[in-house]
Structure 1
């Protein structure tokens, strides 16, 4: 069983843990009424990582700690500059399977082993507000670190950290930071004890693979595209634990991220060799499809539930809500199982390794060394041209099934165009940002239309099941009609929205 909490803190250099005359009095700083000494504690933590420090390389840590009030296993995952999510599991000898799974997108299946032991004597002070509530905890640690790898080196230092209590405003951290700075207390040069220990014992220098910075020309199209690709890969890695824990919107975010990455690898084939990227794109497509079942069910459930809730009570004939719940329960359970099976599969592990190789050994083509303007502008315009062709075809068709399919294809082309603009925003500036914004509006209209198509298909199936059970079909037919009307409105709106995205000035600006 695991528990999690958000941890927001900042670390500082500390001259000494015994003589704290250097520590300023923080009473009166942004609502701090008093500083209360809570004594000392001895902490003993063994940090686990892969041989090449894959957790540390993604700013994550896994430790087994004894002593203090929160003994056990702690997996810390980065959220922002000052914040991390800490997932805790009870104390045990081996790494808990739950934490091993949550770290999988970072370890990529490599064995975890002890790398550093860190023992700290911690002096704790509470920063207390006027109502007696603890606003933050200030701790000063006398640290001793020992490498558990071949070097066996040791290091010692003193540091201080200020951690906000839950629900305390970040402004307090800023105010304390300012007060400490005015008294000469400097921020720590390492973001964590582990990072400090790895640096001091030379473990990090010898274990982390050397960066391939020399392979990418500064200011080039390759640099722009690879920066975006790395961001998307890191987002996928970060989202994996959230999907496994079934956090809100996590499946949607990781699926969208897969789509973005897959699309950009396609759009910028002139920069990255397709012999290397096409197999990655196929695996991203597979992953997106596996996760799509859960996301599609979530979207459809919320759409139908909102429609039902909006109806007057006299139009709800039969056990409508119960019927929807029965339909959703079966589909959701199956979709969730499909998601977890995909994330636990050897195929997913192989994809994670391919993505790592893509950034560590980028398959750059000759045009990657060129200036980004023309290279990226050409890629965006090529995607835009395919969107224009699909839109023209769809708008020529009469309403019906074929037009629905054509509009769905146009929607996918709109996404590809929009995603192609994202890596080019810095180099192409305002024109490409404007195009991305207007194509997004087209995508949204087409997306609402496609959601209506899917909803009508689901409503028909639910209505058939209701009829077979002897339940009234009136409400399901009414909902079907509402969805048809929504689709018709979208089709009438589409030409106007598309006209704004297809103005000649935009294309001319991108052509330079």
Structure 2
């Protein structure tokens, strides 16, 4: 079974070999009181990637390493800031299937092969606190990289790393860096050994992502937003496969943002290219919906039962909820994993890559963002006004519930459109987005209550058929109905504030 750890580190150019006096200055930095020499380690790693280096360009790396204290296969995935997740498996001859699956969102099914061998002679020092516990590790590496893509090409350099102990305070890295900077030791220009090795031993690939987009144009802002979302989708894939908390929700939300952007900015990106991509994104969101909707319902109803006084909970209510959860969750997980393993998903990833490499720009992409982006947001706002006004004019009932849900989807599109435009339009776009988020949250909670009532009714019917009391299900149904009515009363005021917001 794979082991997962989070590593937080910073890399530096090598200090002058004849001056290590600065090492003594590290004692006294934060909790560090002393340094311990841990000797020399010989590390030998072969890095794997696709022929066109898709893993490296996506900020990830996969290696088979011998030597040191952590021999094995290591897949490194980017996190925020100075942190990365490292997924480890024991040594084997071939790339482990599990790690191959976790790279699919970046490789898009292209075969993995050795691309560079990196050998390091590592001198290690632990930074110890008053109890003698290592709070960080400082290592000095003499590195030799030999290309496996271009035989005979190699590079050599020396670098330094400072890595926090697991669970360490990231502020310690900043304080250590102050000492290093004072002594003329600067941050490394490359984010990783493999990135530097490939840069120095492999010819650069042809072409540039997003080439032809004018800086500061409407197209530049839209394309930057699209690129951020596509990369987020790729980053979330491994977390969804490993069933990490909230990962499915984040991926589904990223898909919705991307679909909305491609729809709202049809004046910037050609819909003949983007509409088929939107259709496939809709398919993927639908495959994830079962698992995410189940999560929402389970958490909502479980919390509802816990909040009830004990004398109101009659019969095996929690047991029935757990049985429903187990049955539905298994099918939802199967459906999610099947979608991510499908050729259709890999083709969608290819389509998104083409969208970044060759954006289908229309004439208005070169226009001023204050005009082009604002007009696109305005069109979505007009559409929302029609739908929300109609929904709020209806009498309470299923027709109004459906209309509010329909308007909510448009409110999300307005909100997401403001996100893409915020770097160009500033505070007005931020204000409008914030008010749309409020409308979305109120109407979203209203819709969740509608779905919850439907499930509660079915659970009550099943309980009745099994001879169990139905009282508790009725109480929960009543509470959901009361909450829904409260949200419906809040919606007109929230909508009025959002209606008056503009981009001026």
Structure 1 length normalisation: TM-score?
A: 0.96
2:249 is aligned with 1:245 = no
For residues 398 and 444 of structure 1, the distance between their equivalents in structure 2, rounded to whole angstroms, comes to: 21
SS for the counterpart of 1:32 is: coil
Shift of 1:213: 4.8
For residues 494 and 149 of structure 2, the distance between their equivalents in structure 1, rounded to whole angstroms, comes to: 61
For residues 252 and 152 of structure 1, the distance between their equivalents in structure 2, rounded to whole angstroms, comes to: 47
Deviation digits for residues 239-293 of structure 1 (CA, Å, limit 9, x no counterpart): 0000001010000000000000000100000000001000000000000010010
Name 2:55's counterpart in structure 1: 55
The 3 A distance-change label for structure 1 pair 385 and 346 is: same
For residues 451 and 212 of structure 1, the distance between their equivalents in structure 2, rounded to whole angstroms, comes to: 40
Name 2:233's counterpart in structure 1: 236
RMSD of aligned alpha carbons:
1.2
The 3 A distance-change label for structure 1 pair 61 and 212 is: closer
For residues 103 and 213 of structure 1, the distance between their equivalents in structure 2, rounded to whole angstroms, comes to: 23
Name 2:178's counterpart in structure 1: 178
Name 2:67's counterpart in structure 1: 67
Name 2:340's counterpart in structure 1: 343
Q: Which runs of 5+ in 2 are unaligned?
A: none
Name 2:164's counterpart in structure 1: 164
Name 2:99's counterpart in structure 1: 99
2:313 is aligned with 1:316 = yes
Q: Is the 8 A contact 1:24 1:180 kept in 2?
A: no
Q: Is the 8 A contact 2:210 2:358 kept in 1?
A: no
Q: Is the 8 A contact 1:391 1:407 kept in 2?
A: yes
2:419 is aligned with 1:425 = no
Residue-pair matches, total: 503
For residues 429 and 36 of structure 1, the distance between their equivalents in structure 2, rounded to whole angstroms, comes to: 51
For residues 148 and 22 of structure 2, the distance between their equivalents in structure 1, rounded to whole angstroms, comes to: 33
Q: Is the 8 A contact 2:210 2:356 kept in 1?
A: no
Counterpart selection for 1:475 from 472, 477, 481: 472
Q: Is the 8 A contact 2:210 2:223 kept in 1?
A: no
2:330 is aligned with 1:333 = yes
Name 1:465's counterpart in structure 2: 462
For residues 309 and 255 of structure 1, the distance between their equivalents in structure 2, rounded to whole angstroms, comes to: 28
**Where does 1:103-502 land on structure 2 (aligned, <5 Å)?**
103-201=103-201, 203=202, 205-206=203-204, 208-502=205-499
For residues 417 and 175 of structure 2, the distance between their equivalents in structure 1, rounded to whole angstroms, comes to: 42
Shift of 1:41: 1.0
Name 1:24's counterpart in structure 2: 23
For residues 447 and 275 of structure 1, the distance between their equivalents in structure 2, rounded to whole angstroms, comes to: 31
